[in-house]
Amino acid sequence: MISVPANQQQVSAAPSSPTLAVSGDGDRLVFAGALEILTLPEARSALKPWLKLGSARALDIGGLDSLDTPGALFLCGLRDKGAELTGVRAEHQALLDLICGLDLKPLPKVKFVPRWRQIVIQLGKGVHDARHEALDVITFLGRTASWTINALMHPACLRPASISRFVAETGINALPIIGLMAFMIAIVIGYQGVAQLRPYGGEDFTINLVAVSVLREMGVLITAIMVAGRSGSAFTAEIGVMQTRAEVDALKVMGIEPMQVLVVPRVIALVITLPLLTFFADIMGLIGGAVIAQFQLGVSPTQYLTRLPHVVDGSDLFVGLFKAPIFALFIAVVGCMHGLRVSGSAESVGRETTRAVVKSIFLVLVLDAFFSILFEKLGV
């Protein structure tokens, strides 16, 4: 006699919990109840000793009240192992004929690819993807430039309310973190400059180091990276959520171009705010240089301000401010482009936001290196 434990044979008080009873002895067993995906573990455990019998075996399934696809697949497996299914109900026979008639084959083994070949494939795929990404950025940049120029030539197409809101979000609200970052970066540069130059008696040149690096490179670079992580990601997330809610499609149905409504105001706002944030970061960086000069070099703020015109000139400030709107354009374009790429799921929003931030920071660094070489060749 083979049967499942008593507590498994008892009918559950909850009507949604199916039960299966297995009874019989020798080479003949009887199923009663429900043979479904939830009761398959009970059936397998109860049939383990029965399957080891070498003689002819019979399984009466006439007492089954319900049978689903996993249960039918299990019975087909038993029949393939030599068990005879008896008492099959008419309503279960069609399902068994369908499942047992399937040509079930094991999945083919994945072909082994050597490690060196995987590396070559990944490199090729990376180059291919990079080429397409570059073309997409250039194409979207051209579309953005076209719509922006059109909006500037026809002021009625501009949206002052949207532009002012994005100016506040990307500029005014970012002042505290930008100022703090610029101040601390100047402190770090100044402190390390003093530590490295003091053994050679050149610690006074720390003021030159801090002023030039902040105005030409660090002010605009730190500001652009912070804006890319803060505002660029916000652009992608906002437009991406609109994509998931089909709001972008709704704009198209109403005859409103998403580029004009969603992209142009953000681009104009960021092109306005990033140079202003850069100038603010330059001021905070110079203040940080004054602090480090006071405590590490004994140079008073008055002496510091007196020396600054001899250390830097207008070209140093111009270099940083010239790069800022170009960085802003690429950050806004990449953020909006990836927002419009969202395919409709929360996972897609997160993925595109991450890609937008990484790509924006990469483009900022590449452009900064390009301008550094260009200005050096031009003698600026």
C-alpha–C-alpha distance, residues 103 and 92, integer Å? 20
- Tokens representing 350 are 């997160």
C-alpha–C-alpha distance, residues 180 and 183, integer Å? 5
Helix (H, G, I), strand (E, B) or coil at 33: strand
Angle at 88 between CA 84 and CA 91, to 5 degrees: 145
Helix (H, G, I), strand (E, B) or coil at 7: helix
Number of other residues whose CB lies within 10 A of the CB of residue 7:
7
Please give the DSSP secondary-structure letter assigned to residue 61: E
C-alpha–C-alpha distance, residues 171 and 181, integer Å? 15
Confidence (pLDDT) at 364: 94
Confidence (pLDDT) at 22: 75
Domains identified in the chain and CATH numbers: 6-100 (3.30.750.24), 127-378 (no CATH)
Residues 19-64 have pLDDT tens digits of 877 777 767 778 888 888 888 888 888 777 776 665 567 778 877 8
Confidence (pLDDT) at 105: 75
Confidence (pLDDT) at 107: 75
Task: Give the closest residue to 58 by CA, choosing from 41, 36, 81.
Answer: 81
pLDDT beneath 50: ranges in the chain: 1-14
Confidence (pLDDT) at 284: 93
C-alpha–C-alpha distance, residues 324 and 71, integer Å? 66
Helix (H, G, I), strand (E, B) or coil at 65: strand
For residue 35, list its beta bridge partners: 67
Confidence (pLDDT) at 9: 44
Alpha-carbon radius of gyration of the chain: 36
Angle at 333 between CA 236 and CA 141, to 5 degrees: 145
Alpha-carbon distance values, 241 to 236, 335, 349 (Å): 8, 13, 7
Half-sphere exposure at residue 270, Cβ-oriented, CA atoms within 13 angstroms = 29
